Amino acid sequence: MHDIRLFTPFSSRGTSFVNRIVVSPMCQYRAVEGHVNAWHLAYHARFALGGVGGAVIEATAVERDGRISEGCLGLWDDSQVEGFSKIAALYQEQGIPVGVQIGHAGRKGSSASPWDGAGPLAGATPPRGWPTVAPSSIAHANGWPVPAALDERSIARIVASFAAAAKRAASAGLDFVEVHGAHGYLLHEFLSPIANLRTDRHGGSFDNRTRFALEVARAVRQAVPEQMPVWYRASCVDESEGGITLDETIELARRLKQAGIDLIDCSAGGIRGPVARSTRPEAPGHQVAYAERIRREAEIATMAVGLITDPLQAENILREGSADMIAMARELLADPNFAYRAARSLGHPEPHTVLPETFAFFLARRNMHAKPAHDPASA
C-alpha cells in the first residue's frame, strides 16, 4: 500500500488528507439566493461515500453581485453558513477534509447557466441580472455588457468581502478555503493585461497587476485560524496572445506563498473564452506541466487538474513529482467510486478499505468469494 502514492497521506498546514484524490469545485447552478439546498447535499454525499481524500465546494460568491449566475452558492450572508455546515458534516463524518472555493465573477457575472447558453442575462426577457464590475471597462466578449471599472474604495470593499466569506467558511466548520483566482473571474481579470488596462496602482506593471490577488490572499489568511489551509486556484496561462505567461504565474506563486497561501491549484484559461483552455492541446493531463514547474520553481505544493481520468495516470503524476494532489471533476461525476477503482487497479492490498466501513465490510466479502470471469471453475 505504501508504494502507491495516490493512497499516501498529505498534510496542508494543520489538515491531513488520507489520500491525494480531491473533488474539484464544480458549479451546480442550483442554489437560490446563494443557499445550499437538498440538491447540494445529495451531490456531495455521492463523493463523501466514495473514498476521496478531500473535496472543494463549488465557486461560492463573496458578494451577491459577485455570482457567476443566479444559481451560484454564496457566503456573503450569515444565513448561508448553516447549509455549508451540513456539507461539511457529510465529508467529516467519513474523515474527509472539505473546503470551499470563494470568488467574485467580475465581468463574467450575471450570466445564464451552461445549459441555458452561458450568455449574459442582460439581454434576457423579462430583464434579469445585475451590473457587473471589472478592473477596466472592457466587456468579456462581443454581446456582453461593459462592466464598471472598480474604484479604490470598491476594491477595498471586495477584499473585505473575501475575508468575511472566509470567516463564514471557518464558522461553518469547513477545513480549508480556496481563493478563486482563475477562469477569467475578477482576480484573474486584474492579473491579465488582456482585461486590466488600468494606469493606477492596480494596473500596468506585473507588481501592480498582482496587487489585488495578494491583498485578497493576505486578507483571507488573516481571517481564518492559523492552522487552516488557504489554497489558490490559478489560471496558469491565458489562451490569448498578450496574456499571462507561466513564468509570471510562477512568480505570482512565490509571492502568494509569502502571503500565506499553502497550495496552488493549477488550471488555465478563461480570460476570453471558456474555462480550462490552455495553450497546450487538451489531451489527458494537459495542464500537469504547469503544476510541475510551479511546484519545482516556486517551491510550493500544487494540485494538478484537467482530464485526469486514469488511475495509473494519476499515480504517475505524483510519482514523477509533478504535483502533490490530484483534482478530478467530470471523472468523479461519471464514477464517484473512482478511489475504489483506482485502489483495485493499482494493486492496493485491501482496496475496499478506502471506502466507508459499511461498504468495506460487504465488499471485502464480495471480493473474497467472487471468482474471475475467466476462471473455468466459475462456469
pLDDT in tens, 166-214: 999 999 999 999 999 999 999 999 999 999 999 999 999 999 999 999 9
Strand partners, 179: 102, 232
User: Cell match 465490510: residue?
Assistant: 361
Q: Which of 29, 91, 185, 232 is catalytic?
A: 185
Q: Is the pLDDT of residue 94 over 70?
A: yes
pTM of the model: 0.94
Q: Given this model, what pLDDT does residue 281 score? A: 62
Residue 102's contacts (CB-CB under 8 Å, 6 or more residues apart) are 60, 61, 62, 75, 162, 165, 166, 169, 177, 178, 179, 180, 220
Section 335-340 average pLDDT: 97
Distance CA 269, CA 108 (A): 13
pLDDT band of residue 274 (cuts 50, 70, 90) is low
* Third-level CATH fold of 13-338: TIM Barrel (3.20.20)
Asked if residue 158 lies in contact with residue 62, where contact means CB atoms within 8 angstroms, the answer is yes
- Whole-number mean pLDDT of the chain? 93
Asked if residue 219 lies in contact with residue 160, where contact means CB atoms within 8 angstroms, the answer is yes
Q: Is the pLDDT of residue 239 over 80?
A: no
Catalytic, 340? Answer no
pLDDT in tens, 14-65: 899 999 999 999 999 999 999 999 999 999 999 999 999 999 999 999 999 9
The angle subtended at Cα 188 by Cα 187 and Cα 192, nearest 5°, is: 125
Q: Given this model, what pLDDT does residue 377 score? A: 39
Q: What percent of the chain has pLDDT over 70?
A: 94
Q: Is the pLDDT of residue 365 over 80?
A: no
Q: Where are the domains of the chain?
A: 13-338
Section 148-159 average pLDDT: 98
Residue 153's contacts (CB-CB under 8 Å, 6 or more residues apart) are none
Percent of the chain that is helix, strand, coil (3-state, to 5) = 40, 15, 45
Q: Is the pLDDT of residue 373 over 60?
A: no
Q: Is the pLDDT of residue 330 over 70?
A: yes
Beta strands in the chain (DSSP E): 10-12, 15-17, 21-23, 54-61, 73-74, 98-103, 133-134, 148-149, 176-181, 230-235, 263-267, 301-304, 325-328
Asked if residue 88 lies in contact with residue 172, where contact means CB atoms within 8 angstroms, the answer is yes
Q: Given this model, what pLDDT does residue 367 score? A: 67
Asked if residue 47 lies in contact with residue 97, where contact means CB atoms within 8 angstroms, the answer is no
97 phi/psi in degrees, rounded to 5 = -70, 145
Q: Given this model, what pLDDT does residue 364 score? A: 80
Q: Given this model, what pLDDT does residue 285 score? A: 84
Q: Given this model, what pLDDT does residue 361 score? A: 85
Q: Is the pLDDT of residue 126 over 80?
A: no
pLDDT in tens, 51-77: 999 999 999 999 999 999 999 999 999
Asked if residue 185 lies in contact with residue 104, where contact means CB atoms within 8 angstroms, the answer is yes
